[in-house]
């Protein structure tokens, strides 16, 4: 399912570059192979080039350099209407002057399909999103979530093997968004289609995807499964962009055998795992997930390095506690702990010791 | 859940008053304040627009030039039914009135009223009034001897119809109809049928101008809507330029361009399309009216179209393309239907303006490029207020009919004028 080389990929970007103004590159030498049936998410801040990549794949933008391959053929010169790619737009783009049924029928009509076939397909697609009873409504008469389902059904009604989604859930409220995430994921699994999904919401990306490509500055920073991305970020950008991270700047004291020690700016020396630093004396940024930090001595992992901390702020969040600490001269060190039975609530000003396993402290490039 | 529809009379405020009354009272003050704010405008519109229009409509069915100046004859008409043969006492009554007209100097007014339906009667009334004192009975023979038109049954039919101030005669004339000797409506002779022809021509030319405006404006409006702001602003200035130029300047520049010794003809002769003797006159005729009016009315089509197109997101076209539609299908099935409110608004606006346009046809229309407004203006210059009013009322009715049709077909609430 996951394509590793461009040869067995269903969709492949090969050395793709894109410039709008001839001065700067929006997409810089993009290489990406997407396997058949894969759910791949392009994640990144706005202006990172992810939407441009999607638009090039859909055919609304042309690549300035490089090739885009779909199922083994170069589609650089193929106009959008001949690509046969389903697309869900950010604002749904349901045709306002047509009913739901006519909206879904449209892609079938332009393909010259007969009336009875069209009706059957429209019914099947609407049943798929549980919206058949709305077939005679106009888009303006539907709620955002309902429009979203219709847009999804319309992108799927002509049985495309590849479906592109451009921040499709951006306009929905949180609860509906989470619900639709699962619905889209289930549709993807049951239909076996390939999905390329663009979002700037990391939660969405982690929940839905087989693999996530993190974009920044026109390049893919890391292409990995959600768990790898979260637990083993390749560089500081990914570590900061995905989830929350504590940053401890320092220099490499010793390195070798997959381990290193880092001298922090305040003088403490901690154990860490080197990721993209290799030389002794190099500047580094040690990144530790807030939920991997422990403050109860009895629960401290084996081989953990302990360090002094002072509680600055304690926030009760219901299922979680969020504690802000002063660690190694920084006030921004955060730990998260579950609200389990007998969990102790810390008070500001309290002096504690915290610790973490060396493999959770990742020494990354300084930003 | 509380069933609100079953017992609406049960809805009351906490102290037991009906909710509707309480709401009305709560909003009364705000409503009065709003009313007083619009009152000056309301008064202005009523005084300067509604009252003159009503006055005009009244004029089109009311002309007392004859009825108020010929009371004796009017009384006789009221007492005697219409007959083919006019008896002596009717002529006697007429002479009495003519004598009074001479004293009051009102023979012209009475004659003017009859002249609408029987041309050439003003002078007959005036000369008869001058001689009225000298006429001896039998008046019938005396009057017919002075001018044989007094024996014309058409004149008598006209006078009987004019005996009431209220009349539909002006509408009759506007429809190229007249009364025969028996009082029946018949069409006027071929060479006198001008009004219906001019109405039809006005509407046909207006349709041509509207279509030409639509065809020219659609691509410009689209370009304006999709270009980046800086470029579209520049283009918008070019579109609006005609608005900021005097109508006369624009019209005269068209004369310079289109006349026989004008720029286009010179160019065509120079290229060799026309020969020196084959220069085409494109101004002072129907062609001139169409070209110049299309140019002048173009912004009125561009602006509504632009305002509609600007808010159509490009994602609709993209969605259609991604769903497999060619660019032509996308235009026809997706883009065009969404621009319909703009097309309808622009067409309505241009058509209504074109139907009532006066100055351009007057300046560049020549003989065959005149529209109905020019005829209305002609009647106004001749102080034929009632005739001008009747023609204007027909024009107004036609425009209102169009408006009603528009509301039925598209819905007035979908009108977007920019």
ipTM of the complex: 0.81
Rounded Cα gap, residues B325 and B323, in angstroms: 6
Chain A partners of B333 at a C-beta cutoff of 8 Å?
106
Select from B308, B312, B319, B323 the residue whose CB has the most chain A CBs within 10 Å, as the one to mutate to test that interface. B323
Question: Which residue among B315, B324, B337 places its CB closest to the CB of A97?
Answer: B337
Cβ of A107 under 8 Å from any chain B Cβ?
yes
Q: How far apart are CA A187 and CA A189, in angstroms?
A: 5
The whole-number average pLDDT for the span B3-16 is 62
Mean pLDDT computed over B185-193: 84
**Minimal Cα distance from B334: which residue of A?**
A95
Q: How far is B312 from chain A (nearest CA, A)?
A: 10
Using the Cβ of A86 and the Cβ atoms of chain B, whether some distance falls under 8 Å is answered with yes
Phi/psi region, residue B277 (left: phi>0; alpha: psi -120 to 50; beta: rest), is alpha
Please choose, from the candidates B297, B416, B291, the residue with its C-alpha nearest in 3D space to the C-alpha of residue B355.
Answer: B297
- Cβ–Cβ below 8 Å for A81 and B322: yes
Taking the C-alpha atoms of residue B119 and residue B328, their distance in angstroms, rounded to an integer, is 59
User: CA torsion, points B344, B347, B353, B355, in degrees to nearest 10?
Assistant: -110
- Please name the member of A60, A84, A97 whose beta carbon is closest to the beta carbon of B318: A60
Note the pLDDT of residue B10: 61
Q: How many CB atoms lie within 10 A of CB B256?
A: 11
Largest CA distance in chain B: 97
pLDDT at B145: 87
Are A60 and B334 in contact (CB < 8 Å)?
no
Return the ∠ at Cα B401 (arms to B382 and B368), rounded to 5°: 45
Strands across the sheet containing A86-88 = A86-88, A162-166, A194-199, A39-43, A211-216, A219-224
Tell me if B361 sits within 8 A of B192, measured CB to CB: no
Residue A94 buriedness (CB in 10 A; 0-12 / 13-18 / 19+): buried
Other CB atoms within a 10 A radius of the CB of residue A365 amount to 16
Task: Give the Å distances, CA to CA, from B89 to A282, B85, B94.
Answer: 131, 12, 9
How far apart are the C-alpha atoms of A99 and B251, rounded to whole Å? 48
Strand partners, B62: B166
CATH fold label, B195-414: MetI-like fold (1.10.3720)
**Amino acid A116: pLDDT:** 94
Q: Are strands A194-199 and A162-166 parallel, antiparallel or unpaired?
A: parallel
Residue B200: is it exposed, middle or buried by C-beta count within 10 angstroms (0-12/13-18/19+)? Answer: exposed
Q: What's the pLDDT at A325?
A: 92
Q: Please, are residues A101 and A180 in contact by the beta-carbon 8 Å criterion?
A: no
Question: For residue B49, what pLDDT is reported?
Answer: 92
Which B positions 329-368 lie with beta carbon below 8 A of chain A? 329, 333-334, 337-338
Instruction: Give percent above pLDDT 70 in chain B.
Output: 96
Tell me if A93 and B333 make a contact (CB, 8 A cut-off): no
Predicted local distance difference test score (pLDDT) of residue B165? 87
Cα–Cα nearest to A24, from A217, A192, A263: A217
Contact of A314 with A336, CB cutoff 8 Å: no
Q: Where are the beta strands (DSSP E) in B105-187?
A: 177-179, 185-187
Sign of CA dihedral B348, B350, B355, B356: positive
For residue range B340-398, list pLDDT tens digits in order. 889 988 998 899 999 988 888 888 888 888 889 999 999 999 888 899 999 999 999 99
Task: Find the CB nearest B322 among A87, A97, A111.
Answer: A87
Q: How many residues does chain B have?
A: 418
How large is the average pLDDT for residues B78-99? Answer: 88
Task: Please state, in angstroms and rounded to a whole number, the distance separating the CA atoms of residues B364 and B248.
Answer: 11
Q: What average pLDDT does the segment B128-132 reach?
A: 89
Q: Looking at residue B189, what DSSP letter applies?
A: P
Q: What angle do CA A262, A266, A269 make, to 5 degrees?
A: 30
**Which of B319, B327, B333 lies nearest to residue A89, judging by beta carbons?**
B319
Instruction: Please state the three-class secondary structure of chain A as a single string.
Output: CCCCCHHHCCEEEEEEEECCCCCCCCEEEEEEEECCCCEEEEECCCCCCHHHHHHHHHCCCCCCEEEEEECCEECCCCCHHHCCCEEECCCCCCCCCCCHHHHHHHHHHCCCCCHHHHHHHHHHHHHHCCCHHHCCCCHHHCCHHHHHHHHHHHHHCCCCCEEEEECCCCCCCHHHHHHHHHHHHHHHHHHCCEEEEEECCHHHHHHHCCEEEEEECCEEEEEECHHHHHHCCCCHHHHHHCCCCEEEEEEEEEEECCEEEEEECCCCEEEEEECCCCCCCCEEEEEECHHHCECCHHHCCCCCEEEEEEEEEEEECCCEEEEEEEECCEEEEEEEEECCCCCCCCCCCCEEEEEECHHHCEEECCC
CA-wise closest residue to B253 among B218, B296, B191: B296
d(CA A360, CA A220): 24
Q: Name the β-bridge partners of A216.
A: A219
* Closest of B387, B390, B344 to residue B214, by C-alpha: B344
- Strands A259-264, A269-274: pairing is antiparallel
Domains of chain A plus CATH, in order, are 6-236 (3.40.50.300), 244-364 (2.40.50.140)
Interface probe for A, chosen from B319, B321, B328, B336 (most Cβ of A below 10 Å), is: B319
User: Within its chain, how far is the Cα of A104 from the centroid?
Assistant: 29
Determine if the peptide bond prior to A317 is cis (ω within 30°): no
Report CB contact under 8 Å: A89, B337.
no
Contacts of residue B324 in chain A, CB cutoff 8 Å?
81-82, 84, 107, 110-111, 158
What does each of the 367 residues of chain A score in pLDDT, given as a tens digit?
Answer: 555 555 578 999 999 999 998 888 999 989 999 999 999 999 999 888 899 999 999 999 999 999 999 998 999 999 999 999 999 998 899 999 999 999 999 999 999 999 999 999 999 999 988 899 999 999 999 998 899 999 999 999 999 989 999 999 888 888 888 888 998 999 999 999 999 999 988 889 999 999 999 999 999 999 999 999 998 888 889 988 888 889 888 898 888 888 888 888 888 888 888 888 878 888 898 899 998 888 877 777 777 778 889 999 999 988 889 999 998 888 889 999 888 887 778 889 889 888 888 888 888 888 6
Dist CA B401 CA B405 (whole Å): 6
Longest dimension (CA), chain A: 77
Segment holding B361, helix H or strand E: helix B359-364
| Beta-bridge partners for B218 | none
Task: Provide the mean pLDDT of chain B.
Answer: 87
Say whether pLDDT at B2 is over 80: no
A111 to chain B, any CB pair closer than 8 A? The answer is: yes
Tell which B residues from 302 to 321 touch A, by Cβ distance under 8 Å. Answer: 313, 315-316, 318-321
> Is A89 close to B315, i.e. CB distance below 8 A?
yes
Report DSSP state, residue B334. Answer: I
How does residue B291 score in pLDDT terms, banded at 50, 70 and 90?
very high
Assess contact for B96 and B72: CB atoms under 8 A.
yes
pLDDT for residue A5: 55
Residues of CATH 1.10.3720.10 domain(s) within chain B?
A: 195-414
Contact A85 B315 (CB under 8 A): no
d(CA A124, CA B351): 48
Q: What is the pLDDT of residue A6?
A: 52
Q: Is B411 an interface residue toward A (CB < 8 Å)?
A: no
Contact assessment for residue B374 and residue B358, using Cβ atoms and an 8 Å cutoff: yes
pLDDT number for residue B414: 65
Q: How far is A250 from chain B (nearest CA, A)?
A: 48
Task: Let me know: does A14 contact A57? Beta carbons within 8 Å.
Answer: no
Does any CB of chain B come closer than 8 Å to the CB of residue A174?
A: no
Q: Rounded to whole angstroms, what are the CA distances from A143 to A93, A181, A312? A: 14, 17, 44
* Residue among A58, A93, A158 whose CB faces B324 most closely: A158
**Tens-digit pLDDT profile for residues B213-268:** 999 999 999 999 988 888 989 988 888 887 788 888 888 888 889 888 888 888 98
pLDDT tier at B133 (50, 70, 90 boundaries)?
A: confident
Residue B121 CB partners (closer than 8 Å, separation 6+): B111, B114, B115, B149, B155, B158
A58–B contact, CB cutoff 8 A: yes
Number of C-beta neighbours around residue B417 at 10 A: 14
Q: To the nearest whole angstrom, how far is the Cα of A57 from the nearest Cα of chain B?
A: 11
Q: Is there a contact between A93 and B329 if contact means CB atoms under 8 Å apart?
A: no
Asked if A266 and A329 touch (Cβ cutoff 8 Å), the reply is yes
């Amino acid at each position: 399912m996951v394509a590793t080389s461009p040869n067995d990929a269903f969709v492949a970007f090969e050395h793709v570059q894109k410039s709008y103004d001839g001065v700067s590159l929006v997409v810089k030498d993009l290489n990406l192979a997407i396997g058949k049936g894969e759910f791949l998410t392009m994640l990144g801040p706005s202006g990172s080039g992810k939407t441009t990549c999607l638009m090039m794949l859909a055919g609304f933008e042309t690549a300035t350099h490089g090739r885009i391959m779909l199922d083994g053929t170069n589609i650089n010169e193929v106009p959008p209407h001949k690509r046969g790619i389903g697309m869900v737009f950010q604002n749904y783009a349901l045709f306002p002057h047509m009913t739901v049924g006519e909206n879904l029928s449209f892609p079938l009509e332009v393909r010259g399909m007969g009336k009875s076939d069209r009706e059957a397909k429209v019914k099947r697609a609407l049943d798929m999103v549980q919206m058949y009873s709305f077939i005679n409504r106009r888009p303006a008469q539907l709620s955002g979530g309902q429009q979203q389902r219709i847009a999804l059904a319309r992108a799927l009604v002509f049985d495309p093997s590849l479906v592109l989604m451009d921040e499709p859930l951006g306009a929905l409220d949180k609860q509906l968004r989470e619900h639709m995430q699962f619905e889209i994921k289930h549709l993807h699994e049951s239909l076996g289609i390939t999905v390329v999904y663009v979002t700037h919401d990391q939660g969405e990306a982690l929940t839905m995807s087989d693999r996530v490509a993190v974009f920044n500055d026109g390049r893919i920073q890391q292409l990995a499964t959600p768990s790898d991305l979260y637990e083993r970020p390749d560089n500081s950008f990914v570590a900061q962009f995905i989830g929350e991270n504590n940053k401890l700047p320092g220099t490499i004291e010793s390195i070798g055998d997959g381990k290193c020690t880092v001298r922090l700016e305040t003088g403490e020396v901690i154990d860490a795992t080197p990721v993209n630093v290799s030389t002794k004396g190099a500047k580094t940024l040690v990144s530790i997930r807030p939920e991997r930090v422990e403050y109860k001595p009895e629960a401290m992992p084996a081989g953990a390095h302990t360090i002094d901390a002072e509680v600055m702020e304690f926030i009760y969040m219901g299922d979680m506690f969020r504690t802000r600490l002063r660690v190694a001269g920084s006030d921004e060190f955060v730990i998260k702990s579950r609200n389990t039975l007998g969990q102790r609530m810390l008070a500001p000003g309290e002096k504690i010791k915290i610790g973490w396993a060396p493999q959770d402290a990742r020494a990354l490039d300084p930003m | 859940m509380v069933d609100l529809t079953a017992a609406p009379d049960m809805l009351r405020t906490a102290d037991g008053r009906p909710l509707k009354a309480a709401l009305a009272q709560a909003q009364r003050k705000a409503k009065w304040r709003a009313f007083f704010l619009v009152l000056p405008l309301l008064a202005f519109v009523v005084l300067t627009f509604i009252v003159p229009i009503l006055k005009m409509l009244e004029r089109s069915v009311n002309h007392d030039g004859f009825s108020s100046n010929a009371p004796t004859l009017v009384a006789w008409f009221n007492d005697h039914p219409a007959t083919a043969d006019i008896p002596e006492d009717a002529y006697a009554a007429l002479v009495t009135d003519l004598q009074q007209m001479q004293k009051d100097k009102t023979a012209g007014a009475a004659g003017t009223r009859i002249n609408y339906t029987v041309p050439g009667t003003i002078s007959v009334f005036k000369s008869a009034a001058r001689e009225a004192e000298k006429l001896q009975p039998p008046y019938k023979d005396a009057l017919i001897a002075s001018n044989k038109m007094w024996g014309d049954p058409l004149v008598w039919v006209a006078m009987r119809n004019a005996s009431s101030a209220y009349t539909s005669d002006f509408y009759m004339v506007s429809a190229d109809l007249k009364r025969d000797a028996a009082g029946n409506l018949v069409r006027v002779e071929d060479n006198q049928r001008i009004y219906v022809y001019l109405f039809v021509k006005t509407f046909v030319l207006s349709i041509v101008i509207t279509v030409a405006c639509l065809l020219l404006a659609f691509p410009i409006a689209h370009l304006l809507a999709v270009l980046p702001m800086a470029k579209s602003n520049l283009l918008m200035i070019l579109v609006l330029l005609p608005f900021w130029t005097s109508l006369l300047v624009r019209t005269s520049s068209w004369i310079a361009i289109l006349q026989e010794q004008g720029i286009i003809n010179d160019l065509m002769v120079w290229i060799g399309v026309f020969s020196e003797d084959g220069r085409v006159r494109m101004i002072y005729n129907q062609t001139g009216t169409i070209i110049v009016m299309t140019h002048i009315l173009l912004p009125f089509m561009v602006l509504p179209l632009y305002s509609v197109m600007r808010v159509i997101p490009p994602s609709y076209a993209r969605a259609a393309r991604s769903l497999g539609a060619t660019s032509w299908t996308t235009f026809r099935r997706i883009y065009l239907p969404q621009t319909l409110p703009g097309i309808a608004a622009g067409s309505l606006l241009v058509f209504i303006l074109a139907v009532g346009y006066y100055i351009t046809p007057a300046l560049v229309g020549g003989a065959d490029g005149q529209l109905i407004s020019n005829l209305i203006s002609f009647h106004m210059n001749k102080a034929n207020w009632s005739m001008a009013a009747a023609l204007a009322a027909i024009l107004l009715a036609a425009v209102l009919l169009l408006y009603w049709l528009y509301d039925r077909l598209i819905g007035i609430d979908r009108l977007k004028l920019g």
